[in-house]
């Protein structure tokens, strides 16, 4: 496996203002190099959950159609920067609204619909739940796509020797930041996979405060990057050879219990 150069984008989000959010995130991305062979380039850009609106329950009002403005914007970035870019937005599809994580590459867009909806905010009443586990391939890495509350459910994220990196995009409130940080590290250790979690900062229209704490973690649990509460773009290099060697030298997955998720 090659190394993977990952950029985490941590910022405040303007409430229900997609154009404003695309503009401010685009400005951060534009600071990155256009070529992955330069010191400022990147292979993958990770944005927060619902990065165009904040974690709003105005599902129908905020939802875009498949292939809409934000999906095209992500595709344009992927093609311009020669990288993948991912984050979630509200999408109206198949008669309902989904909290949909889009994964854009220069060749097209794949998606994952959030499975575990946050009932404490009423998300399960406003959005449809996804059912499929989605793993995408990008530059020799197998990447498991997850959204926020999914982090609390380790059975769904269990590594069946089918991914190398797990991404969590989130709007995770500061009041539960300890859970966010500890669970991200736990997911890396138990699955022997790199984990990147990207959260927002600032306060939303409902009064919730977000502390950021976007992290990148190696497959052995080593903390590689901690953005704390800082706004901006931060890069981390995930070492593919180190991950392979760690798994080979400590093959605990060979003793894992066999089960199937219904």
Question: Is-contact 239 216, C-beta < 8 A?
Answer: no
**What confidence score (pLDDT) does residue 41 get?**
83
**What confidence score (pLDDT) does residue 99 get?**
98
Nearest-CA neighbor of 47 among 169, 229, 225, 210? 169
Q: What is the pLDDT of residues 121-170, one digit of tens each?
A: 999 999 999 999 999 999 999 999 999 999 999 999 999 999 999 999 99
Instruction: Please indicate, yes or no, if residue 258 is contained in any of the structural domains.
Output: no
Instruction: Please indicate, yes or no, if residue 95 is contained in any of the structural domains.
Output: yes
Token digits of residue 182: 């500890």
Instruction: Please indicate, yes or no, if residue 262 is contained in any of the structural domains.
Output: no
**What confidence score (pLDDT) does residue 40 get?**
54
CATH label of the domain that carries residue 134: 3.60.110.10
Nearest-CA neighbor of 64 among 93, 95, 26? 93
**What confidence score (pLDDT) does residue 36 get?**
42
CA distances from 218 to 68, 84, 199, 258 (A): 35, 20, 18, 25
Q: Give the burial string for 161-176 (b: 16+ CB within 10 Å, else e).
A: eebbbbbbbbbbbbee
Question: Considering 11, 83, 148, 194, which one is annotated as catalytic?
Answer: 148
Instruction: Please indicate, yes or no, if residue 179 is contained in any of the structural domains.
Output: yes
Question: Considering 49, 64, 81, 83, which one is annotated as catalytic?
Answer: 49
Instruction: Please indicate, yes or no, if residue 197 is contained in any of the structural domains.
Output: yes
C-alpha 200/C-alpha 217 separation (Å) is 18
DSSP for the chain, please give it.
---EEEEEEE----TT-HHHHHHHHHHHHTTS-S-TTSTT--SEEE--TTTTT-S-S-HHHHPBPTT-HHHHHHHHHHHHHTSEEEEEEEEEETTEEEEEEEEEETTEEEEEE-SS--GGGTHHHHSBPP----EEEETTEEEEEEEGGGGG-TTTT---S--SEEEEE----GGGHHHHHHHHHHHHHHHTSEEEEE--EEE-TTS-EEE---EEE-TTS-EEEE-TT--EEEEEEE-HHHHHHHHHHS-GGGGPPP----
Residue carrying the six token digits 């619909």:
113
**What confidence score (pLDDT) does residue 33 get?**
57
- Per-run averaged pLDDT (10 residues), the chain, 262 residues: 96 98 96 54 96 98 98 97 98 97 98 98 97 96 98 96 98 98 98 98 97 98 98 97 97 88 74
Instruction: Please indicate, yes or no, if residue 115 is contained in any of the structural domains.
Output: yes
**What confidence score (pLDDT) does residue 37 get?**
42
Residues 6+ apart with CB under 8 A from 186: 154
Instruction: Please indicate, yes or no, if residue 82 is contained in any of the structural domains.
Output: yes
- Report the number of distinct structural domains present in the chain: 1
pTM to 2 decimal places: 0.96
Q: Does the annotation mark 252 as catalytic?
A: no
Question: Considering 11, 64, 114, 194, which one is annotated as catalytic?
Answer: 114
Q: Does the annotation mark 228 as catalytic?
A: no
C-alpha 195/C-alpha 231 separation (Å) is 20
Instruction: Please indicate, yes or no, if residue 259 is contained in any of the structural domains.
Output: no
Find the domain containing 169 and state its range.
4-253
Q: Does the annotation mark 194 as catalytic?
A: no
């Amino acid at each position: 496996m090659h190394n993977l150069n990952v950029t985490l984008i941590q910022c405040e989000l303007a409430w229900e203002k997609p154009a404003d959010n695309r503009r401010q995130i685009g400005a951060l991305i534009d600071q990155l190099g256009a070529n992955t062979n330069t010191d400022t380039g990147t292979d993958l850009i990770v944005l927060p959950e619902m990065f165009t609106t904040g974690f709003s329950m105005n599902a129908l009002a905020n939802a875009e159609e498949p292939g809409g403005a934000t999906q095209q914007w992500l595709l344009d970035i992927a093609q311009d920067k020669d990288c993948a870019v991912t984050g979630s937005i509200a999408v109206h599809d198949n008669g309902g609204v989904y909290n949909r994580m889009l994964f854009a590459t220069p060749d097209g867009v794949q998606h994952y619909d959030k499975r575990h909806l946050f009932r404490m905010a009423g998300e399960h009443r406003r959005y449809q739940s996804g059912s499929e586990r989605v793993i995408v391939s990008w530059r020799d890495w197998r990447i498991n796509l997850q959204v926020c509350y999914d982090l609390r459910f380790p059975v769904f994220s269990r590594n069946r020797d089918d991914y190398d990196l797990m991404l969590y995009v989130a709007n995770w409130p500061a009041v539960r930041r300890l859970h966010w940080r500890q669970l991200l590290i736990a997911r890396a250790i138990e699955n022997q996979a790199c984990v990147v979690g990207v959260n927002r900062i600032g306060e939303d229209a409902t009064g919730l405060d977000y502390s950021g704490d976007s992290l990148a973690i190696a497959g052995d649990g080593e903390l590689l990057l901690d953005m704390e509460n800082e706004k901006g773009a931060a890069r981390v290099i995930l070492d593919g050879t180190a991950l392979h060697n760690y798994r080979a030298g400590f093959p605990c997955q060979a003793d894992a219990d066999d089960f199937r998720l219904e």
